[in-house]
Amino acid sequence: MSASEPSLRFVRRVRFAHRRRAGHASMRRQRGVTMLVAALCLGLVVVAAGAIDIGNLYFARREMQRTADMAATAGAQTVSNGGACASATASAQNNAVKGNDLSTSATVTVVCGRWDPSANAGQSYFSTSGSPMNAVQVTVSEKVPYFFLGPARNVQAVSTAEATNVRSFSITSAVATLSGGLLNGLLNSLLGTNLNLSVASYQGLATTQIKLGDLAAAIGVGSMTQLLNTNISLPNLVSAMVTAASKSTLVGATAITDLGTIQAAIPGGLQVALGNTPGTNGLLAVALDDPQAAVSATVNALDVLMAAAEIAHGNSAIKLNTALNLGPLANISAKAKIIQPPVIAVGEAGTYANGTPRASARSAEVQVYLNVNLLNLSLGLTFLGLPDLVSVSALNLPIYIEAGDGAATLTSTACTTQQATSQSTIVATTGIAGICIGGDALNNFTNTTTAMQCNQPATITSVNALGMSAVNVSVGSSSPASGVNLTLQPASTTLTFNGVPNSGTAYQSTNTNAVGSAAAGLLTQLATQMATSIHATLLGVDVSGVAAPLLSAIVSVLNPILTSLDALLVPLLQLLGVQIGVSTVHDLGLACGQAQLVY
């Protein structure tokens, strides 16, 4: 053996040891990689299982949300009908269970209430205590199992839907006693025009319904909020009414032509605010949380025209002499002043949290001064055989009338699938009204701060007896000093309307006293008061008892004059929006709201 062999064996052993150690290290490395790959695979399996569970959870919640949305919408469509919450609950639950194949293990909870952003600013807009109910909130709950990651988890979805029934209406109306001559005279006085339309023309305007959405488009604004913020010239408003009326399915035969005639006759410079606010007399009082819901509400062309004319005219005096012309019977000096024009209401039923009505129309508040004048009237005492004993050189009867602030408030609506069976309830309240005869009657015409009152007796005539001015005839009392005063207090009546436009129930009146019926006399009621309040003095001495036949004759003379004046004045006041002691509500249509998801 050579000397080099041991060293070669050593080298081989070292190399073998290195290779062995390298093999062990490689095996250890392989085992580490295998364990890492196994851990990663296990993690991926866990992630995949979790993803499946989470995906199933979100899928189940999405389906529950869809079910809750559809159920809430179904419930909202019926929450404001006659069945109220019971009907809405049944509709929502039936839709959830039968319409969406909801699992039998799921629960559906339905809550009725009110969605009102204006009442709960910064809080939840849905409240179970709000009135009237206009919304339904549906909660769908179900235990959704985890296939891999543990026990079942309770999942729920909540949805709220709102639906608003919108009614538009006015209190008192020009159509109550349509008269072509009176309407022409009044509009000519208000607008400075020279119209001469027929009664049929005005009846056509009274049956023409215009959608607010069409009116907004004709004016060139894109929303109800913009419409209510619009100030427009009266000619441009009437022009827009022509365009909007052309799209209406309810339009009088000659309404478009007649509106064009009116528009062409109106001078420039008359402005109208379309939205009514506490500081601005406007045409429309829209009481909706979302004014856009009024887009399908309708208004009547004649009501809009009359109210707009009064708003544009302002509170300047209106001369009524032409409209109240009695010819040979008497000379009448007459003027009226609109303290506050009427307002057309568009809104939903119920009250705000502070108790004020949501939708309320207002009648005009009007002052009227009349002076009935007769000249050279001879009164004979034929029962004494003295036909020309007494002559009346002048007879003046100063009368002041004040009326207004009648209101109509929408208290409930119920929509059904048929217009004829849909209903609205409106409470009509007559405004405070007063009539007086007095020497200071004209002073009331400039008074807007204190209650109407004639505080002085009115000297209505001086009588020449046997060629001598000896007797003064007055109405009222000298001790204490007072004229003849009659005040009528407000009274309320509930009226029910269906959903059919221009139906037989579209105009309803309530007469709360004997004075102000649309058919009965207004001024002739004063004759009854005068019979007990007329006095005669002779050289300052009361001789009413002796002159009773004379006083009775004067009242008899005034009766037919006041009756004739009534025939003109009562409908003229109605055209101005006022009926003494009477409320006439004009229903302009019910737009049943389409439910929409709000949360």
Structure tokens that stand for 265 in this block: 């006759």
Residue from 526, 554, 535 nearest 478 by CA: 535
Q: Is the pLDDT of residue 381 over 60?
A: no
Polymer length of the chain: 599
Q: Which of 207, 270, 202, 206 is closest to 236 using CA atoms?
A: 270
Give the containing element (helix H, strand E) for 182. helix 180-191
Q: What is the 3-state secondary structure (H, E, C) of 252-280?
A: CCCHHHHHHHHHHHCCCCCEEEEECECCE
- If one counts every other C-beta atom within 10 angstroms of the C-beta of residue 27, the result is 10
Q: Is the pLDDT of residue 518 over 50?
A: no
List the chain domain ranges: 11-162, 169-597
Torsion over CA: 184, 429, 506, 218 (sign): positive
Question: What is the signed CA dihedral for 472, 438, 488, 174, rounded to 10 degrees?
Answer: 110
Give me the mean pLDDT over the 487-514 stretch: 76
Q: What band does 122 get if pLDDT is binned at 50, 70 and 90?
A: very low
The predicted-structure confidence for 240-250, as pLDDT tens digits, reads as follows 999 999 998 88
pTM for this model (two decimals): 0.69
Please give the radius of gyration of the chain, using alpha carbons only, rounded to the nearest integer: 41
Residue (of 127, 141, 124) closest to 65 by Cα position: 141
Element (DSSP H or E) covering residue 253 = none
Residues paired with residue 402 on neighbouring β-strands, in sequence order:
367, 434
Mean pLDDT score across all residues of the chain: 78
Per the model's pLDDT, the better-predicted residue between 289 and 18 turns out to be 289
The pLDDT value given to residue 39 = 61
pLDDT interval class at 12 (50, 70, 90): low
Q: Are 138 and 568 in contact (CB under 8 A)?
A: no
What pLDDT is recorded for position 472? Answer: 80
Of 174-178, 346-350, 354-358, 548-552, the range with the lowest mean pLDDT is 174-178
d(CA 287, CA 349): 9
What is the rounded average pLDDT of the residues 450-474?
75
When pLDDT is averaged across residues 221-239 and rounded to a whole number, the result is: 94
What one-character DSSP code corresponds to residue 353?
T
pLDDT in tens, 32-89: 656 676 666 665 555 555 556 566 667 777 888 888 888 888 888 787 665 678 888 8
User: How much is the average pLDDT of 316-328?
Assistant: 77
Angle between helices 234-245 and 301-313 (to 10 degrees): 170
Q: Is the pLDDT of residue 466 over 90?
A: no
Q: What is the pLDDT of residue 337?
A: 86
User: Hey, what are 453's tokens?
Assistant: 């009152």
Q: Pairing relation of β-strands 282-287 and 331-340?
A: unpaired
Q: Looking at residue 595, what DSSP letter applies?
A: P
CA distance 261 to 416: 40
Gap between the terminal Cα atoms of the chain: 101
* CA-closest candidate to residue 381, choices 313, 477, 463: 463
Least confident of 268-282, 286-300, 574-588: 574-588
Predicted confidence (pLDDT) per residue in 234-276, tens digit: 999 999 999 999 998 888 889 999 999 999 999 888 899 999 9
Mean pLDDT of 337-360: 83
User: What is the average per-residue pLDDT within 447-472?
Assistant: 75
